[in-house]
Each structure stands twice: as structure tokens, then as C-alpha cells.
Structure 1
Amino acid sequence: MRKSRFTEAQIIGMIKEQEAGMPTAEVCRRHGLSPATFYKMKARYGGMEVSDAARLKALADENA
């Protein structure tokens, strides 16, 4: 699987920017990604905090 160029913390930060009221197109332009990629990341990491994402990664590594 291809490694993401963004960390979980960066992805969650982008999602929080969009939820705070910044238009999605502006968030995507600032960070250099497509809206489709943004919405895929939002579906995976939406509603999470950084600690939740770290715990999820640790569980995935443990199960691998």
C-alpha cells in the first residue's frame, strides 16, 4: 500500500479547518490535494482526534 504524504495529525488538521468554516476547495488548494482525496480522508478520519488515529494505527500494526 502506498504511504501517504500527510501524517494523521495533518489530515485531521485539514478536516478541522474545513469543519471550522473554510471552503473545501480552499483547503484542498492550500494543501495541494484533490477534493476527491480530501473526502476519502474525511470518510476515514472524520470525527477523530489525533490520539484516536494513533490508537487505530497501533491496533492495525498489532493485527498485521
Structure 2
Amino acid sequence: MTEVLSHAAQWALDQADIWRIGDVCNCENIGSARAMEKAGLEREGLLRRWIVHPNVGSEPRDCFAYVRSR
């Protein structure tokens, strides 16, 4: 997953009109957070009660925001 994300991020940032890419993950999903960090994305912030993950529950969950820019 990390290698694919890293290549996709680099490809996107190689495009002339793309300056920034971003993603979010559930704060409790440590595996996704680590994959984004290993792929060169930096944690930009914490989004409180940001999104509902239906497979986890019906309440909005906190998410980490990640970004990579050039």
C-alpha cells in the first residue's frame, strides 16, 4: 500500500496543474496513518467528528488530515 500511494502521490505532483494532494484517515486507523507518513504525506491536522465510517458506527469520527505538496 505504501509503495502504491507513494508512486501515485509523486505522479500527481508531477502534473503541471496539481500543487497539493491530501487525504484523511480515522484517528484509530494507525496502519493507514503510518502508510501515509511512509509515502511522504505529512500530518496537517486533526478533524474533529469529520466523517461517518458506516463499517465502524453511525457517529462521525475524528480523522487525521495528511498532505503532500510541492
Structure with greater proportional helix content: 1
Relative to the length of structure 2, the TM-score reads: 0.29
Relative to the length of structure 1, the TM-score reads: 0.31
Say which one has the larger Rg.
2
